[in-house]
Structure 1
Amino acid sequence: MKILYTLLLVSLSSFSGIVLAQGGFDLWVVETSGKSGNLKIHPETAYALTDRPEYDNQPSFINEYQMVFSAADENDNFDIIVYNFNSKKFTNMSRTSDRNENSPTITDCGMYISAVVSEPDKKQRIWLYPINFEPAELLYDDIEPVGYYDWYDNKAAMFVLGDPNTLVYARGRNDLIEIDSNVARSINKRPKTSEITYLSTADFRNVADQQAYLLKSYDIETGERAEYGFGLEGSQDFIWLDKKYLLMAKGNDIYKRKYTDNNWELMGTIQSDTHQNISRMAYSEDLDLLVVAMERK
């Protein structure tokens, strides 16, 4: 893994601060302290990592000091960007004019950065970008349109758009497990388990005229299903801190909950005159940092 990250640092071309276009989102960084159930955030430390009128979103840490995210250039082309918290530099992992890369993350094997790619013919499939910079590889040629995904055992659990949307796990070619339908956009493997977790849009409760979706789990190894309480009303984005604790956000507020508890604990509020509505989040235990995507006002 150390070799992977060195290659990324040496080989990626410069991001060079291009002006982005499309969708008003920026990435904000917040310092944290403590671990797991004792995690605290320090809202007074929050700052904008990106500050453009367009799109920077979908953050994901790939190692102890680097993060990838999706960003758009001036022609509304979305590329994979790497940010190094040690060097404070942005670099392009992709620079494509005929396709858009979204939802980048590192694969289980550590040899690729994966992304959902909107191709020239409008197909939307998962591609793998080798860290040795050989040409990108299509993962599943017959599964699309993919919206979101996560990894277990070097295979993808995928949110496939349709009517209804479905969540499938590709156990092998022509061997798909259909986990559920009517799922929200966050698909996350529960750490140190074989569980794929998601919010069900078919199971919800109404809170203050908004829907709070039920968090569900499917164990790839055993086939067992479980329910872990409700998410926050009006929110579709969650992450696992570890095997036991979850984070969600509502507006500019960030909440924490143990998966067996019913109530969400308010951790803090990011104060901003320019940004609102936290959505995607990424947490680094190594750096004691939380990165959140926020909408420009």
Structure 2
Amino acid sequence: MQIRSFLVISLAIICGGFAMSAKAALPTTDIAIFDLKTLFSKDEKAQAFHLTYRNGYDNQPKFSNDGQTIYFTRGIKEQRGKSQTDVMAYSFESKQLSNISNSIDSSEYSPTPYRSGYLTIIGVADANGKQYLNKMNISRGSQTTITKDIEPVGYHAWLNDIEAAVFVLGDVMTLQMLKTNTNDKPLVLAENIGRCLQRISENKVSYTVEEETTHRIYWLDENHDSHDTGIVLPQGVQDYVWLNDKEVVFGDNSKLYRLSADEKRLITDLSYLGIKSISRLAFDSNFNRLAVVYER
């Protein structure tokens, strides 16, 4: 087996999947949503709204820009036995869950709010297994490939409307900057990066670099220069989300922590809800809700 093929299959298993293969089964994960007022309260235990609670893959949550919808990736098994992933949307107002990609010959991962009416996703074509950064129309579910200059793409975050920071698989995992308004070759900005890319604000995206078995968080500016935050995640952790401009929140088994360059503090232990192996996290734009991916 070639190194590149091995990496694709291995990362699909370890990272919760952006590539499908007959030999790579997606893990069983669920998504719980918490009200931040109770989550950070010292006087009462937080109660979870279980967005999903089933045997299957539900992962990679992202809130819409207005915070009224949450998008996520769901593992789907069709009647003919073929497995794939689709993009789901849940409306907090209508309390309705819908499949917005509902694709036949492809899988979709990492739904990310983009311009009005659109998401960007990682599209994996069943025919050739290529992984491209695609744009998806939310109302129709149709998608187009933004560029074929970068492949295979694993994850992405928008630095601004025309530039995306992307995680690219290879012998070494690289952070590359994709400019959508030019034909310039993508810029390689960092190596040995982790899967968690977070848009902090306009022209500010964070990423991690694995350094001696731990992940250190850096951020990019509009000039594509990197800055060290001084925040180092504990060993075995690479997922995080920004709480403010100095602190991130991360999960370690059943516990949620807040972490700065100087201090780590326990927020809560969610084991009483049967939550363990916390991985991905997402805040809504108003910091009213936190989505937590976990295993039961």
Same-fold call, TM > 0.5? yes
* Unmatched runs of 5 consecutive residues or more in structure 2: 1-24
* Unmatched runs of 5 consecutive residues or more in structure 1: 1-20, 205-210
Is 1:113 aligned with 2:119?
yes
1:139 corresponds to which residue? 146
Return the offset for 1:110.
2.5
Does structure 2 retain, via aligned residues, the 8 Å contact 1:191–1:243? no
Does structure 2 retain, via aligned residues, the 8 Å contact 1:230–1:262? no
Return the offset for 1:288.
1.6
Listed one character per residue, the Cα deviations across residues 22-73 of structure 1 (whole Å, up to 9, x for unaligned) are 5210101112129xxxx82665312422111001110000122111000011
Please give the root-mean-square deviation of Cα atoms over the aligned residues, in Å. Answer: 2.2
Which of 28, 32, 38 aligns to 1:28? It is: 32
Is 1:237 aligned with 2:239?
yes
The 3-state SS of whatever aligns with 1:234 is coil
Return the offset for 1:224.
4.7
Return the offset for 1:178.
1.2
- Whichever residue aligns with residue 160 of structure 1, its letter is V
Normalised to the residue count of structure 2, the TM-score between the two structures is 0.81
1:90 corresponds to which residue? 97
- Whichever residue aligns with residue 279 of structure 2, its letter is S
Listed one character per residue, the Cα deviations across residues 215-249 of structure 1 (whole Å, up to 9, x for unaligned) are 12232326253343211221110111343331111
- Whichever residue aligns with residue 215 of structure 2, its letter is Y
2:267 corresponds to which residue? 267
The 3-state SS of whatever aligns with 1:266 is strand
Trace 1:131-280 onto structure 2 (pairs within 5 A): 131-133=138-140, 135-154=142-161, 155-171=163-179, 172-192=182-202, 194-201=203-210, 203-204=211-212, 211-221=213-223, 223-258=225-260, 261-272=261-272, 274-280=274-280
Does structure 2 retain, via aligned residues, the 8 Å contact 1:145–1:161? yes
Trace 1:279-290 onto structure 2 (pairs within 5 A): 279-286=279-286, 288-290=288-290
Q: Count the aligned residue pairs.
A: 261
Which of 74, 80, 91 aligns to 2:77? It is: 74
Normalised to the residue count of structure 1, the TM-score between the two structures is 0.81
1:122 corresponds to which residue? 129
The 3-state SS of whatever aligns with 1:29 is strand
Does structure 2 retain, via aligned residues, the 8 Å contact 1:191–1:242? no
Q: In 1, Cα distance between the equivalents of 2:49 and 2:76?
A: 22
Whichever structure has more strand as a proportion of its residues is: 1
Listed one character per residue, the Cα deviations across residues 127-170 of structure 1 (whole Å, up to 9, x for unaligned) are 11123527311011121101111001222110000110100011
Moved segments of 4+, more than 4 Å: none
Return the offset for 1:273.
6.4
- Whichever residue aligns with residue 70 of structure 2, its letter is M
